[in-house]
Amino acid sequence: MRGILVAILLGLALGLALLWVGQRRLIYLPYGNVPSAASAGLPRAEDVTFSTDDGLTLHGWFMPATSMPARFTMIVFNGNAGHRGFRAPLAAALASHGVATLLFDYRGYGDNAGTPSEDGLTRDARAARAYLTTRTDVDTSRIVYFGESLGAAVALGLATETPPFALVLRSPFTSMTDIGRHHYPFLPIRWLLRDRYPSLERAERLTCPTLVIAGDRDSIIPIEQSRRLYEALVSEKRFVVVAGADHNDEALFDGRELMQAVLDFLSTSLTVR
């Protein structure tokens, strides 16, 4: 019996060790083979590069608004999977409504070197924001952050450091710890997790207008987490629920209801200011 117990304990220890070492492969799901902007549906987009403070070069596309000058410029912070090409329809839709967009890939995603981590994505977000300040065609007083899922946590973190004109959080979670507990309730997530993204702790530090959008059938980020984060906000805020939408449904990428909510919120925030 003692031998069996020791074997079980060793097996558990080995399993937890493997989870500790390989957990980022479960969180970050980068895709390579980024198509050209034109083949992704953005023939007017400009290929751009910019550097992070730890020496990495990140690639992206700057999509100008159809009508110039742009009413706003939006940085899109991607979720945990794919590459910037998946967000091309969103950029195209925004451009037609007078919003320029910076699409970019985090380190380790698309054609970028590096390995993704919470610290790394934080550096990438700062670099994307800094890049926009170098462009003469961008009004830096009207930069908007749009974060989806994991990217919502990245955008929120940046907003506490460098507030944007407005912040849009699509399917945000309260923390990576809470998401881990939701999907893996049998694991000691609090002790294992390296990248925590504590959005709920940061929410009360936000000073910019914030729009939270969530699908009521989200099977990855429970809508209760998005609502809890929304309730913690102390700045101007709005909560929009897209009925019947799951996490990866088109309705939450560039759907008509999502687009209208974003445009209405930006117009309202501009009027208030």
Which residues are part of the catalytic machinery? Answer: 149, 218, 247
Strand, coil or helix: 83: coil
Is residue 172 within 8 A of residue 221, CB to CB? The reply is: yes
Per-position b or e across 227-238, b if 16+ CB within 10 A of its CB: bbbbebbebbbb
If we measure between CA atoms, which residue out of 173, 151, 171 comes closest to residue 80? 151
How does DSSP assign 200-225, residue by residue? HHHHTT--S-EEEEEETT-SSS-HHH
Q: What is the distance between the alpha carbons of residues 60 and 83, in angstroms, rounded to a whole number?
A: 10
β-bridge pairing 166-170 and 210-215: parallel
Burial of 168 (0-12, 13-18, 19+ CB in 10 A): buried
Q: What is the distance between the alpha carbons of residues 265 and 133, in angstroms, rounded to a whole number?
A: 23
Token pair listed for 9: 């304990």
β-bridge pairing 81-82 and 99-104: unpaired
